[in-house]
Structure 1
């Protein structure tokens, strides 16, 4: 399952969707939250995500397909929120199930690394009256090297 949506997601429901009766031996999940990025009060800050509908989902599907070609996965779920978010809001869910924990951990890590660098999302931080688009992070790009 791949979803790009404004509404929040329920981690317990997404976890249940990853289970394959009598076959799942491991589930690895990552939930990303909007963290504090300013000295201002959290209510004076916002995080906005925009995306290119169609292209974003295509990017996410390519990342999931690549993960499935590397590891024996049962189910994969990626949910990414867009729109205006506040500090502590859930922003992304990545979950994978497999027969074994090593594959689940590696695939979840791989998907997050590629999602951060290759998915078509644009982020803007607003602090009071000031807003700025967030530039690509070298650290996130460097994380991709370990998967080559």
Structure 2
């Protein structure tokens, strides 16, 4: 069983990430690829900018991955990579990849991990708009946003 978590200001290589979770004992690889969309609530987005409390982000990503393996012991490999810095429209900001013998477990774990990343990992996002304005955003799911 392998877990790999990473935050980086480099472009994410989705193909390498997907290959890295492969295993001959697994018939399923499930993947979430999050990209920067062009519009949000009618506003045209130019780019996203991500910042993180890196040490805590990595610790939390590893913790939620370990929790997933306890709840879904069939899972063989988990990778979570998140971009930091500027992520332009159409670029990849987050990749979660999971392998397991069967698809149901892999799909459930990807969903679980995505929900957990959005609710508990200290990564912060600023949307920068075409009109030159910008706004720091909290995920709707974020459990700690109301505290600050």
| Pairwise same-fold verdict (TM > 0.5) | yes
C-alpha distance in 2, partners of 1:109/1:84? 25
Alignment of 1:20-99 (within 5 A): 20=23, 22-37=24-39, 45-71=46-72, 72-99=74-101
CA RMSD, Structure 1 to Structure 2 (Å): 1.7
Q: Does 2:5 align with 1:16? A: no
3-state DSSP of counterpart to 1:133: strand
Which residue of structure 2 lines up, in the alignment, with residue 146 of structure 1?
none
Residue ranges of structure 1 left out of the alignment (5+ in a row): 143-148
Q: 1:133 aligns with which of 119, 124, 136?
A: 136
Structure 1 residues 109, 41: CA separation in 2 closer, same or farther (over 3 Å shift)? Answer: closer
Residue ranges of structure 2 left out of the alignment (5+ in a row): 144-148
Structure 1's consecutive aligned runs of 4 or more residues displaced over 2 angstroms after TM superposition are 37-42
Question: In the TM superposition, what whole-angstrom CA distance separates every residue of 1:18-41 from its partner, at most 9, and x where no partner exists?
Answer: 112x31111101100001135666
Which residue of structure 2 lines up, in the alignment, with residue 3 of structure 1?
6
C-alpha distance in 2, partners of 1:93/1:53? 17
How far did residue 10 of structure 1 move? 1.6
3-state DSSP of counterpart to 1:124: strand
C-alpha distance in 2, partners of 1:4/1:141? 19
TM-score, with length taken from structure 2 = 0.85
